[in-house]
């Protein structure tokens, strides 16, 4: 616990004892204690007691201070004075009033004084091992003269510079439990070694407090290790791999713990559910089928073997883990279900010393399972596949709904999402208000009757009064048969699948093997795609190629990585017009980092928990607060409620920055930050300081603790009307408050004075409904109360501040910062609830937005409750609508840039970039879809009819589409016909019969694919697909280009480990390549992606780093291989296919920039050399308007994507600035409305250049998509 205290005894003067006190001296005690500031560690062996704190330059450091006297028998306590000894610039120590506000009053008070120390360090860091030292001193006086007693606490302030710092401690773990407890001192002088990803070594020696520090200036993966001298045994991991991000704060509290050999280790195992255990004094209860998180770990050993069994009601006993080895001192967690019936469940964990048969420690955890008091729905199956049906034939299936609650379940509406146009229908008439008694079931009969050929998908939608899933959505699949038997597909893991009533559990790092097969009549090969959907919904493509029928296909050499939860591998296969789907899910147990905190009632408002059981040196009676809601948001998000001890706990398994926010309640105000952040590395043995939240009741001096039972789960606060918090008069006699009111004479009735004005707040706007991925913006409108001192927002569920989807750089999410919740206006994007993530979609879910405003006269709060859904009923609110519209249509402009920069008929058309750009373009959309809970983009084969469904239907399409088969020369097997020349300048060679006949660099392949097949499909679909500006609005666009991309992937890859991982299959880590590619030949590696991406030819900021990604795993990449304007880089990080980040070259000046990557020793796994590549850019001054088109260079580079050196980027006769500001036309399109008339000519003839129906006869035109009809135009898709 990062709190420290000092005590000093003294003898009161005789005059202070008063009459009758006796002559014997009664010793009194002066105490000085601090709070728990972030970044601080107790320095156990210091004299005086000290806090060792790491502060980043530019950040504010705040520490609470309390000094008080305990003197039993004294009628009047002496005064206490605080002094700051060694004060430096930027340091302040201010007294707090009864409400916890800083004042300018003297630091001298009777009996007790509370204060707050602040320090805002400058940009000048301290040298390692040479911190700033300042003493907090408390002395006793009689109001004027000091009485000699003095207590001192020293603050050792290590100021870290702008570079990243890795900070840690080495300590003696006396009890061997792997935790640094009070009284366990630091160990000095044992070197700690550090290596970067290139193996370059450094060393640091811990100081007298066991503290060590490394300053690094490169984002990289670092390896820390320490070897203890003889006679010592490690109790924590002796090596740590730590990912350092320069954008984050210091990486602190890397702990190395050791015990002496002669001491006996205290091996202990911990086991609990997310609601505790009966063995711990609680009464955890779950409802039937409810999710339960299990947390466990072993301490006292660097490694331990564990076995874990589960006896869940309604299920046979399961051995979840059988002698699995895990690191000691690290918590693990996984998710399961509490049980399938009412009764008691029990978990049992046994820990073993590696190599020993006898258990070292066994611990159990018992919990209860009961039916939910409210109506609760369970249903099976989770999806319905009707298989194949003849045209106008019918197949029936059913979905069974079961009420596992204790109240009647009412089915309000049942229907098919696609309505009457869907080939799926209810087999029985649509009914409403069906009542299912507790424990009973109801079967919904369904029918699939296709009237046209193709593959279909829709959803059964059931709306009911169930509290767990008010909207049940069941996917429905079906397809037609053309006088041929159906095909089937299946996939499974080597430990089984949850779908098969098994309970497979993998630990992070475990190898996993997948096997799938496609069965059907002999014939053409199948297209198979395997996606890995990690816990939280992030999809990763792990397999994408053609496979033979009726043969098993094994994907091996894979390993599991975080996060914790249920993981699913999804198979999608296609043979002709037939589509097969199957899924296999398994549980993942991930080692993580424990985030622990406490909530207390801060009666004196000083920000210190007076009476905390963890800090016995600070006595007091401030109680913990149970049942208070706490949310954690970040790469993983959870909610919890404080227990009877005010304690809460989260275990996270994904690194990143997390925000812990306490619930805002009317009548309470926070005395410590209501939102606190922590950066987590998730390395073995990571240990964090506890989080502490303090609250005081408004207008309350010494307030009673909140009453009522402790809730088992946190419910969002009840929506409040925008009224002010009632004012409470001060308690009579409280020091510093007005005296009690004197009653008026009985002959007159004088009304009491009105309470002082307080504030009112209302959130605006107040929508009732919103959509996942929709931008939300709220403002707090305040009335009364005087000056607004602070705002504190809280939002239930997960949100993000923003995201970056441009292919210019890699996909990234911008998380919420603490300051975002403390401004008058709050903006964010809604993320889905867990039950809204694909493959589930529970319909609209209630979410709350609340704000608490603090004024000099009190606080006021407003809460807005609205429903947030992942819409699946309205084709005008599809994922594509939000993706294309969120950022001022930046997605559409970027696609237009591709067409404007590389016209088809141009001699510079880049067929390779055609594939690489669209691959990146698809990956950004898939990343976005994963972030917001949507399924990955599907695949549409142009040789089949256009699929139907609410997720793919689009109004702006042509009336009919004639299937256009993929030419055989774009397939692996090939065919007899040879490809003829397509007439474009880029077509340098014809005559190919199969895919391997095209050069591996894909330049010719991209040219050949583009025309006429690719272009003909766009023309055939029509509508938005005819227009490069609007084509990404059609959901079919993305599915179509996913199909086109298979050609590139098959020509590039076809050994799995090297190719598919170049596309970021993050969850599965390859152990070895799969072997020779399917073509029987290998090919040299190519650089497929760069940052900045080569499509963007202009930059307006200094180029300080350059990123390269290869299409396969490579070795031999060295910093000097890359030059920028002839200057070599001096550092590089990365491995396998990349990304490789080059730094250390001189930032090029304004003007041409040439980046060259030499072949060097870069080779693939088959010893084939990289041929080298060069990319050219131009750097411009962002503040200038060099082409004088009224747009700054910065706006042209980042907003409009136009040429900052050409005032008319599309050569339509209109300056770019006029098109943007005056005419609202497209500065990258010669003909904005695609009616074949030039924009300028239309304006001159009085026609509307943005309306294709407003045509100006006589304008010189360019034929619309003439290339798609067989001639040379500029537009492709």
Q: What are 6-53's pLDDT values in tens digits?
A: 888 877 765 555 544 444 456 788 899 988 777 788 876 678 888 888
Query: Residue 493: pLDDT band by 50, 70, 90 thresholds?
Result: very high
| d(C-alpha 1144, C-alpha 220), whole Å | 14
Report whether pLDDT(61) > 70. Answer: yes
Predicted pLDDT of residue 542: 83
Q: For the chain, which domains are there?
A: 1-161 (2.60.40), 268-370 (2.60.40.10), 377-480 (2.60.40.10), 488-590 (2.60.40.1930), 1060-1096+1101-1179 (2.60.40.1220)
Predicted pLDDT of residue 922: 93
* Between residues 1068 and 86, the one the model is more confident about: 86
Burial class (CB in 10 A: 0-12, 13-18, 19+), 6: buried
Predicted pLDDT of residue 709: 34
DSSP notation for 849-873: EEEEEEETTEEEEEEEEEEEE---S
Report whether pLDDT(56) > 90. Answer: no
Of 311-325, 1070-1084, 1105-1119, 1197-1211, least confident by mean pLDDT is: 1070-1084
State the virtual CA torsion across 299, 303, 304, 309 in degrees, nearest 10.
80
Of 588-602, 1108-1122, 1145-1159, least confident by mean pLDDT is: 588-602
Closest CA to 455 of 963, 982, 28, 19: 963
Q: Where are the alpha helices (DSSP H) in 957-1031?
A: 1003-1009, 1015-1021
Report whether pLDDT(1080) > 90. Answer: no
What pLDDT digit, counting tens, does each position of 737-777 carry? 333 333 333 333 444 444 444 678 899 999 989 999 999 99
**Is the bond preceding residue 407 a cis peptide, omega within 30 degrees?**
no
| d(C-alpha 335, C-alpha 589), whole Å | 8
Query: Which residues lie across from 544 on neighbouring strands?
Result: 529
Q: What is the mean pLDDT of residues 76-100?
A: 88
Residue with tokens 């959870």: 638
Q: What is the mean pLDDT of residues 525-550?
A: 81
What pLDDT digit, counting tens, does each position of 544-588 carry? 888 889 999 998 877 887 677 788 898 888 877 677 778 898 988
Predicted pLDDT of residue 1178: 95
Of 102-106, 215-219, 348-352, 720-724, least confident by mean pLDDT is: 720-724
Q: Are 489 and 517 in contact (CB under 8 A)?
A: yes
Closest CA to 126 of 153, 86, 168, 156: 156
Predicted pLDDT of residue 1221: 86
Please give the backbone phi and psi of residue 931, each rounded to the nearest 5 degrees, phi first: -60, -35
Q: What percent of the chain shows pLDDT beyond 90?
A: 29
Predicted pLDDT of residue 248: 61
Cα distances (angstroms) measured from residue 1002 to each of 916, 996, 1081, 1137: 10, 10, 15, 18
Q: By three-state DSSP, how is residue 1026 classified?
A: helix
| d(C-alpha 722, C-alpha 1145), whole Å | 57
Structure tokens at 598: 């406490």
Strands 769-771 and 858-869: parallel
3-state helix, strand, coil in the chain (%, to 5): 10, 40, 50
Query: Residue 311: pLDDT band by 50, 70, 90 thresholds?
Result: very high
Count CB-CB contacts under 10 A for residue 975: 11
Query: Residue 242: pLDDT band by 50, 70, 90 thresholds?
Result: confident
Residue with tokens 């053309």: 482
Report whether pLDDT(1097) > 60. Answer: yes
Of 336-350, 600-614, 694-708, least confident by mean pLDDT is: 694-708
Query: Residue 160: pLDDT band by 50, 70, 90 thresholds?
Result: confident
Query: Residue 712: pLDDT band by 50, 70, 90 thresholds?
Result: very low
* Between residues 735 and 221, the one the model is more confident about: 221
| d(C-alpha 180, C-alpha 172), whole Å | 8
Q: What is the mean pLDDT of residues 410-433?
A: 76
| d(C-alpha 1151, C-alpha 753), whole Å | 74
Query: Residue 382: pLDDT band by 50, 70, 90 thresholds?
Result: confident
Closest CA to 1220 of 1246, 1244, 1239: 1239
What pLDDT digit, counting tens, does each position of 593-610 carry? 888 889 999 988 888 888
Structure tokens at 446: 């369904």
Query: Which residues lie across from 661 on neighbouring strands?
Result: 631, 675
Element (H, E) at 1269: helix 1266-1269
What pLDDT digit, counting tens, does each position of 826-843 carry? 999 999 988 888 888 888
What pLDDT digit, counting tens, does each position of 1247-1277 carry? 888 887 777 777 765 533 333 323 233 333 3
Strands 505-507 and 578-591: parallel
Predicted pLDDT of residue 725: 28
| d(C-alpha 67, C-alpha 1130), whole Å | 54
| d(C-alpha 585, C-alpha 569), whole Å | 6
What pLDDT digit, counting tens, does each position of 188-198 carry? 999 999 998 88
Predicted pLDDT of residue 247: 62
* Between residues 382 and 1120, the one the model is more confident about: 1120
Predicted pLDDT of residue 1039: 93
Q: By three-state DSSP, how is residue 623 classified?
A: coil
Predicted pLDDT of residue 26: 67
Q: What is the mean pLDDT of residues 366-377?
A: 90
Q: What is the mean pLDDT of residues 722-749?
A: 33
Q: What percent of the chain shows pLDDT beyond 70?
A: 87
The sign of the CA dihedral 506, 512, 518, 524 is positive
Of 44-53, 328-337, 721-730, least confident by mean pLDDT is: 721-730
Predicted pLDDT of residue 1241: 84
Predicted pLDDT of residue 436: 93
Q: What is the mean pLDDT of residues 961-985?
A: 90
Of 279-288, 740-749, 819-828, least confident by mean pLDDT is: 740-749
Report whether pLDDT(696) > 50. Answer: yes
Strands 132-141 and 79-85: antiparallel
Cα distances (angstroms) measured from residue 710 to each of 601, 644, 646, 1113: 15, 7, 10, 55
Please give the backbone phi and psi of residue 995, each rounded to the nearest 5 degrees, phi first: -65, -35
Q: What is the mean pLDDT of residues 490-508?
A: 85
| d(C-alpha 214, C-alpha 217), whole Å | 10
Predicted pLDDT of residue 740: 35
Closest CA to 601 of 590, 612, 593, 617: 612
The terminus-to-terminus CA distance of the chain in angstroms comes to 60
State the virtual CA torsion across 709, 710, 715, 716 in degrees, nearest 10.
90
């Amino acid at each position: 616990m990062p709190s420290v205290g000092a005590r000093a005894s003294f003898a009161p003067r005789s005059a202070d004892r008063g009459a009758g006190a006796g002559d014997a001296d009664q010793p009194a005690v002066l105490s000085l204690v601090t709070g728990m500031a972030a970044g601080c560690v107790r320095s156990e062996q210091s004299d005086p007691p000290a806090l060792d704190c790491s502060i980043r330059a530019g950040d504010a450091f705040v520490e609470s201070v309390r000094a008080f006297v305990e003197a039993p028998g004294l009628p009047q306590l002496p005064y206490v004075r605080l002094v700051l000894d060694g004060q430096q610039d930027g340091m302040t120590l201010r007294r707090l009033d009864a409400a916890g506000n800083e004042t300018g009053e003297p630091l001298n008070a009777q009996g007790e004084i509370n204060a707050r120390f602040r320090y805002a360090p400058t940009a000048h860091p301290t040298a390692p091992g040479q911190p700033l030292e300042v003493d907090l001193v408390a002395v006793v006086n009689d109001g004027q003269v000091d009485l000699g007693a003095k207590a001192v606490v020293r603050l050792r302030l290590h100021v870290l510079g702008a570079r990243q710092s890795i900070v840690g401690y080495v300590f003696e773990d006396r009890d061997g439990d792997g935790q640094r407890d009070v009284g366990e001192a630091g160990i000095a002088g044992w070197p700690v070694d550090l290596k970067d990803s290139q193996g370059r070594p450094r060393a640091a020696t811990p100081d007298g407090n066991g503290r060590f520090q490394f300053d690094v200036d490169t984002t990289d993966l670092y390896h820390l290790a320490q070897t203890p001298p003889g006679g010592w045994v490690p109790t924590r991991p002796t090596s740590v791999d730590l990912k350092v991000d320069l954008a984050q704060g210091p990486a602190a509290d890397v702990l190395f713990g050791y015990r002496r050999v002669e001491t006996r280790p205290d091996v202990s195992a911990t086991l609990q559910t997310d609601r505790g255990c009966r063995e711990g004094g609680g009464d955890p209860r779950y409802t039937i089928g409810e999710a339960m998180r299990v947390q466990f770990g072993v301490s006292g050993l660097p490694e331990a073997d564990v076995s874990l069994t589960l006896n869940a009601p309604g299920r046979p006993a399961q051995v979840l883990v059988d002698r699995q080895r895990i690191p000691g001192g690290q918590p693990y967690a996984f998710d399961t279900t509490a049980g399938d019936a009412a009764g008691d469940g029990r978990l049992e964990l046994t820990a073993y010393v590696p190599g020993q048969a006898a258990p070292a420690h066994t611990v159990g955890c018992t919990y209860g399972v009961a039916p939910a008091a409210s109506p609760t729905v369970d249903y099976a199956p989770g999806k319905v596949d009707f298989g194949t049906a003849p045209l106008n034939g019918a197949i029936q299936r059913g979905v069974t709904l079961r009420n596992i609650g204790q109240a009647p379940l009412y089915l309000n509406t049942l229907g098919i999402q696609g309505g009457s146009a869907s080939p799926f229908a209810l087999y029985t008439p649509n009914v409403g208000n069906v009542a299912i008694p507790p424990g009973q079931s109801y079967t919904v009969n369904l029918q699939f009757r296709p009237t046209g050929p193709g593959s279909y998908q829709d959803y059964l939608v059931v709306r009911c009064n169930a509290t767990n899933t008010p909207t049940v959505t069941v996917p429905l699949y079906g397809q037609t048969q053309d006088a041929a038997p159906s095909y089937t597909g299946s996939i499974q893991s080597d430990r089984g699948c949850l779908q098969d009533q098994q309970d497979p559990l993998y630990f992070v790092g475990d190898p996993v093997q997948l096997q799938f097969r496609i069965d059907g009549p002999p014939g053409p090969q199948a297209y198979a795609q395997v996606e890995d959907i990690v816990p939280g919904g992030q999809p990763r493509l792990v397999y994408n190629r053609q496979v033979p029928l009726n043969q098993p296909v094994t994907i091996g050499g894979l390993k599991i990585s975080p996060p914790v939860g249920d993981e699913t591998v999804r198979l999608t296969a296609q043979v002709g017009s037939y589509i097969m789907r199957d899924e296999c899910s398994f549980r993942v147990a991930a080692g993580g980092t424990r985030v622990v905190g406490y909530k207390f009632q801060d009666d004196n408002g000083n920000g210190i928990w007076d009476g905390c059981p963890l800090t016995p040196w600070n006595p007091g009676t401030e109680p913990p607060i149970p049942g208070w809601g706490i949310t954690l948001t970040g790469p993983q998000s959870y909610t919890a409620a404080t227990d009877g001890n005010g304690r809460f706990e989260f275990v996270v398994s994904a690194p990143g920055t997390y925000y812990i926010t306490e619930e805002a309640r009317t009548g309470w105000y926070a005395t410590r930050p209501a939102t606190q952040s922590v950066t987590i590395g998730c390395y073995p043995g990571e240990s964090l300081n506890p989080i502490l939240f303090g609250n005081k009741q408004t207008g309350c001096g010494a307030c009673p603790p909140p009453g009522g039972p402790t809730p088992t789960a946190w419910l969002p606060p009840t929506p409040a009307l925008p009224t002010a918090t009632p004012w409470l008069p001060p308690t009579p006699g409280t020091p510093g408050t007005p005296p009690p009111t004197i009653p008026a004479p009985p002959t007159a009735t004088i009304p009491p004075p009105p309470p002082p004005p307080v504030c009112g707040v209302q959130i605006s706007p107040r929508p009732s409904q919103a959509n996942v991925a929709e931008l939300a913006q709220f403002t707090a409108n305040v009335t009364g109360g005087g000056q607004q001192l602070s705002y504190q927002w809280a939002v239930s569920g997960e949100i993000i501040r923003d995201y970056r989807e441009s292919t210019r750089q890699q996909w990234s999410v911008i998380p919420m910062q603490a300051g975002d919740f403390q401004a008058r206006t709050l903006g964010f994007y809604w993320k889905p609830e867990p039950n809204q993530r694909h493959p589930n979609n529970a319909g609209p879910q209630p979410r709350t937005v609340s704000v608490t405003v603090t004024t000099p006269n009190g606080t006021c709060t407003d809460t807005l409750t609205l429903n947030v859904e992942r819409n699946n009923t309205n084709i005008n609110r599809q994922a594509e609508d939000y993706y294309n519209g969120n950022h001022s249509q930046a997605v559409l402009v970027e696609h237009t840039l591709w067409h404007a920069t590389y016209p088809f008929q141009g001699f510079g058309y880049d067929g390779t970039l055609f594939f690489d750009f669209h691959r990146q373009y698809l990956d950004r959309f898939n990343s976005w879809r994963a972030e917001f809970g949507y399924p990955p983009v599907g695949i549409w084969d142009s040789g089949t009819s256009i699929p139907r469904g609410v997720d793919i239907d689009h109004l702006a399409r042509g009336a009919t589409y004639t299937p256009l088969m993929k030419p055989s020369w774009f397939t692996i097997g090939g065919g007899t016909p040879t490809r003829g020349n397509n007439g474009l300048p880029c077509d340098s060679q014809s005559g190919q019969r199969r895919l391997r006949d095209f050069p591996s660099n894909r330049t010719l392949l991209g040219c050949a694919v583009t025309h006429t097949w690719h272009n003909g499909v766009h023309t055939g679909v029509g509508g938005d697909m005819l227009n490069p500006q609007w084509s990404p609005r059609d959901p079919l666009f993305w599915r179509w280009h996913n199909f086109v991309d298979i050609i590139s992937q098959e020509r590039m890859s076809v050994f799995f480990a090297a190719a598919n991982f170049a596309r970021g299959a993050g969850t599965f880590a390859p152990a070895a390549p799969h072997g020779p590619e399917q073509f029987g030949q290998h090919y040299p590696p190519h650089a497929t992606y760069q940052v900045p991406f080569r499509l963007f030819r202009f930059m307006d900021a200094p180029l300080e780093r350059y990123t390269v990604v290869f299409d396969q795993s490579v070795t031999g990449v060295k910093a000097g291989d890359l030059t920028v304007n002839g200057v070599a880089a001096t550092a590089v990080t990365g491995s396998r296919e990349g990304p490789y980040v080059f730094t250390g070259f001189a930032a090029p000046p304004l003007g041409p920039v040439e980046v060259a990557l030499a072949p060097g020793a870069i080779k693939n796994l088959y010893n084939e050399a990289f041929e080298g590549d060069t990319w050219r850019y131009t750097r411009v001054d962002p503040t200038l308007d060099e082409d004088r088109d009224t747009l700054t260079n910065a706006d042209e580079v980042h907003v409009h994507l136009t040429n900052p050196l050409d005032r008319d980027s599309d050569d339509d006769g209109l300056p770019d600035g006029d098109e943007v500001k005056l005419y609202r036309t497209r500065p990258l399109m010669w003909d904005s409305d695609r009616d074949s008339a030039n924009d300028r000519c239309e304006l001159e003839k009085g026609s509307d250049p943005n309306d294709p129906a407003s045509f100006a006869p006589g304008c010189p035109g360019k034929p619309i998509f003439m290339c798609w009809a067989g001639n040379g135009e500029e537009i492709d898709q």
